[in-house]
């Protein structure tokens, strides 16, 4: 799904795509309204999340500002300490995204049940997604913008993938009018890190 970035605005030159190293992004606001947050059980969510889409490979970077009062912690994924793929920070705000059945259905991501873990970098506010469940698939390798897709967290190269159907209503709800009706989600079979592509 080609997406033409508007290079005249909303480009953050400091960012570099963890997948393809491209530094051009289109920025969108994900308007996490109160009602949406309630619906999804994301009562922790700030009203605003920012989504940056890589102009080259369509990788989605999520950012979610969090208040300073949140407890910081280091994240143990059973391997090396979790490190932010953008800035190298090792302290994160941790949230469980409790996807209720209703909201999971709404978002058509029932495969995510019972939920996903979100780790938000305390330095740059990048929001990293992890699936809580492993589905036992060995996964496959994928190419992305000429690169063999590798997990930015653990460098593993096998993923299982799902299409997430973002309905029109959801798209409007999110304020992501750039989004195609579907997003592709790649889940690392090693560390369960979720990569989003639009």
Residues that bind Zn ion (CB under 5 A): 17, 19-20, 22, 54, 56-57, 59, 84, 86-87, 89, 121, 123-124, 126, 151, 153-154, 156, 188, 190-191, 193
Q: In this complex, which beta carbon is closest to Zn ion, that of residue 69 or of residue 78?
A: 78
Bridge partners (DSSP) of residue 29 are 50
Closest CA to 111 of 137, 82, 149: 137
Q: In this complex, which beta carbon is closest to Zn ion, that of residue 75 or of residue 154?
A: 154
The CB-of-101 to Zn ion minimum distance in angstroms stands at 27
Q: In this complex, which beta carbon is closest to Zn ion, that of residue 40 or of residue 187?
A: 187
The CB-of-188 to Zn ion minimum distance in angstroms stands at 3
Alpha-carbon distance 186 to 162, whole Å?
A: 7
Q: In this complex, which beta carbon is closest to Zn ion, that of residue 63 or of residue 173?
A: 63
* Contact indicator for 164, 108 with CB cutoff of 8 Å: yes
| Vertex 138 angle, CA 51 and 146, to 5° | 50
The CB-of-181 to Zn ion minimum distance in angstroms stands at 21
* Contact indicator for 13, 27 with CB cutoff of 8 Å: no
């Amino acid at each position: 799904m080609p997406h033409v970035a508007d290079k005249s605005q909303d480009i953050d030159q400091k960012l570099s795509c963890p997948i393809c190293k491209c530094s051009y992004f289109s920025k969108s606001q994900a308007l996490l309204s109160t009602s949406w947050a309630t619906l999804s059980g994301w009562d922790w969510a700030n009203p605003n999340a920012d989504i940056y889409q890589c102009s080259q490979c369509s990788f989605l970077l999520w950012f979610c500002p969090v208040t300073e009062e949140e407890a910081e912690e280091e994240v143990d994924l059973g391997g090396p300490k979790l490190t932010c793929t953008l800035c190298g920070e090792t302290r994160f705000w941790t949230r469980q995204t409790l996807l209720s059945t209703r909201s999971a259905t709404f978002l058509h991501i029932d495969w995510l049940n019972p939920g996903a873990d979100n780790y938000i970098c305390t330095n740059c506010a990048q929001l990293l997604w992890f699936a809580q469940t492993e589905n036992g698939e060995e996964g496959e390798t994928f190419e992305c913008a000429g690169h063999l897709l590798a997990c930015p967290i653990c460098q593993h190269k096998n993923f299982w993938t799902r299409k997430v159907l973002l309905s029109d209503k959801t798209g409007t709800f999110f304020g992501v009018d750039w989004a195609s009706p579907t997003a592709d989600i790649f889940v690392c079979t090693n560390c369960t890190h979720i990569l989003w592509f639009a």
